[in-house]
Structures are given as structure tokens and as C-alpha cells.
Chains A and B, each alone.
Chain A
Amino acid sequence: MARRKFEAIGSTADIAFLLLCYFLMTTTMGDQSGLQRRLPPIPDEKQAQDQKVNRRNIIIVRINSADKLFAGSEAMDISFLKEKIKEFLTNPTNDPNLPEKEAKEIEGKTYMVSKGVISLQNDRGTSYQAYIAVQNELVKAVNELRDEFSRANFGKKFSRLTEDEQEIVKKAVPQNISEAEPKDTGKK
């Protein structure tokens, strides 16, 4: 009697194994992660004139077709890009060549918000790997600034804040990365 009971359970395990194998074969691990961005809408002609940004508020990051990086006007290695962007966005010495700051009231408190915009340009020949590496550095710079801001104002890391607080930090340290219209400078 006891023997028969074991046999019945043995077959359920087999069936479960089969199902398991089936799922192992037909599925992929959820690897849907990446860098999220918002593309600018196609501008109307009227808007295009309004969107003139003060020169000091913009930094042009260019990657040419040989994957060489230029930030501002100088050639630069990718390992220095993060610090350059952080300096650009914080403007600690109130340098007149770096972006202006604007006092903004967010949720009843006033913060100094940088007006800086990072303009990312690339050639048609730039490799996607280099492009993503630069995007990643830009995001990293902003994330580190948000962390610093969170520590200074809330005493916690950005990821530990509540959602409302995260919204405040996001407004105070905006991620202004503009992906410019592609320019046909490189070889196709």
C-alpha cells in the first residue's frame, strides 16, 4: 500500500520536471533594463526661435566618427567627463562662464537650480557602444549630484528617499540632456 503511494507522487514530480524544462527552454530572463530618455518633440518653427539658450548655459558633448570625445571645446578622455559635467552643473565658484543658477521654489522650500543643459551630439559613424558609454557617464554625473543633494537636504541617499522627496530632488537637480538633431558631418 505504502509503495503505491510513493509511485503516484513520483509521477507528479516527473510532470513538474517536464514543465520546468519547458519553461527553461522557452523563456528568457527578464533583461529589460536600460537608460531611459525622453526625445524632444519635433519643434514648430515658432518654437525653434524661442528655444535660444544662453551660451554659458550649454555644454556641447560631441563624439566624432572615430569615437573621440569633445566636451566644451577640448578633446577629453571619457574618464574625466563625469567630473567636468558635475562642475558644469554645480558651478561651485559662480564662474560667469558656467551656467547661471536660478532660485526655484519647490514644495515650499527654495533651492538653487542650475540652468545648465548638456547637448549631446554624434556623427553617423559614431559607434553605439561609445555613445552609450558617454550617455552612461552623463547619467552617472547627474545621479551623483542627486545623491549629494539628497544627503545635504534629507541626510539620506537618493534611493532611500520617499517618492515625494525623490520628486523634489529630481526637480532641484534636473537631468537636462538634449540629443541634438543629427548632423551629417561624418562619412556614411
Chain B
Amino acid sequence: MSKFGSSSNKKEVPQASSNSLSDIVFMLLFFFMVTTQMRETENKVKVVMPEASEVAKLERKDLSANINIGSPTLQYQAMYGTDARIQLNDSFKTVADIRDFIAAERDAMSEAERSLMTVNLRVDQDVRMGIVSDVKQELRRCSALKIMYAARKPAKD
């Protein structure tokens, strides 16, 4: 009993060590570094991906080329309207530009990995299929045949 609360005990309560704090923060940091990827381009079109329960993960993210299709975001609507547009890299493009885009993406890859390239179609759920079909036909003409319809897993209930 004399150990607690007695005024005769002059030992100070040791300060909680903050040594581990930096470790914890670093661990969080590493977690985010590993699980996230750099935002490469600014999104100029709104893409809300449709839900699909049978989605599979893309194994090689570095071997994918992204094509975004959706209606322009608010700040670009004055210029481009609200009709669905194609965004490649950083700018609005048309179907005719896909050929050059695919060629450029292929060039950036090593020879052995070119055949593994996947075109990731990130399409907004409200887009009509017409433009998507046009893009698909163009991809077939460029013989970029591996594609992926980007979708998200529905939240479990």
C-alpha cells in the first residue's frame, strides 16, 4: 500500500516513451506506399465504374494502358459539353487517336512484354455502348486484343 499515493515516495512516474511512435508511423507509411499507386493523370472525365461480382485483379499493372470514357467533369463541360468523351493520358481524344496511343504504349514496353499488354477500359456506367463499340473495333484493328472492363466489387451486405 505504501507504494502508491504516499508522499514519502519520491520516485517520479516515468514518462511514457515516444520511441515507438515513429515506428508506428513509419509502418503506416510503408503500408500506404505499398498498397497505393501514384495518380498518373488528372481525370478529365467522370468515371463511375459499374459493379460486377466476378471481377478479377489485374496482375501486371505496369503492362496496362488506360482508356477513360465518360462525360467531362464540371470544369470542362463548358468547352466539351456533357456527351461522353474519350480521355487518353491527359487530354480529350477521338477514336482515331487510339491507334497512336496504343503504338506509343507498346513502344514504352520491352519487346517480350508487348504481347501481355492489357487495355484497361475504364468506362462510366451511364455511357451508351456505341462509343465503347467504336473503341473496341479500333482496338481490334490495332490488334490490342487483351482488354479488361474495369469494374468494382459490390459492397457485401
Pick from B19-27, B72-80, B94-102, B105-113 the stretch touching chain A. Answer: B19-27
> Contacts A12-B22, A36-B148, A128-B123 known; A30 to B129 CB distance under 8 Å?
no
Query: CB distance A124 to B147 under 8 Å?
Result: no
| Complex partner residue of B148 from A9, A17, A34, A181, CB under 8 angstroms | A34
> Contacts A27-B38, A127-B125, A128-B123 known; A133 to B50 CB distance under 8 Å?
yes
Report how far A135 CA is from B36 CA in the complex, Å: 28
For residue B24, which residue of chain A has the nearest CB? A13
A132 in contact (CB, < 8 A) = yes
A48 in contact (CB, < 8 A) = no
Query: CB distance A34 to B124 under 8 Å?
Result: no
Report how far A29 CA is from B31 CA in the complex, Å: 11
A149 in contact (CB, < 8 A) = no
For residue A32, which residue of chain B has the nearest CB? B58
A54 in contact (CB, < 8 A) = no
Q: Mark A21-58, 1 if CB is under 8 A from B, else 0.
A: 00110111111111111111110000000000000000
Query: CB distance B56 to A16 under 8 Å?
Result: no
Pick from A69-77, A98-106, A109-117, A136-144 the stretch touching chain B. Answer: A136-144
Query: CB distance A34 to B149 under 8 Å?
Result: yes
A1 in contact (CB, < 8 A) = no
Most chain-A Cβ atoms within 10 A of its Cβ — which of B55, B57, B141? B55
Chain B residues with CB under 8 A of A20: 25, 28-29, 32
Query: CB distance B136 to A179 under 8 Å?
Result: yes
Query: CB distance A127 to B126 under 8 Å?
Result: yes
Q: Mark B1-30, 1 if CB is under 8 A from A, else 0.
A: 000000000000001001101100110110
Query: CB distance B64 to A32 under 8 Å?
Result: yes
How far, in Å, is A170 (CB) from chain B's closest CB? 13
Q: 5 closest A-B pairs (Cβ-Cβ)?
A: A124-B130, A27-B36, A182-B133, A129-B125, A136-B52
Residues of B in contact with A (beta carbons under 8 Å apart): 15, 18-19, 21-22, 25-26, 28-29, 32-33, 35-39, 49-58, 61, 64, 118, 120-121, 123-130, 132-133, 136-137, 139-141, 143, 145-153
Q: Told that A39-B139, A122-B133 touch, could you supply 5 new A-B pairs with CB distance under 8 A?
A: A31-B49, A33-B152, A128-B124, A136-B151, A140-B53
Name 8 interchain pairs, CB-CB below 8 A, sorted by A.
Answer: A12-B22, A35-B148, A36-B58, A38-B147, A39-B147, A40-B145, A127-B129, A140-B54
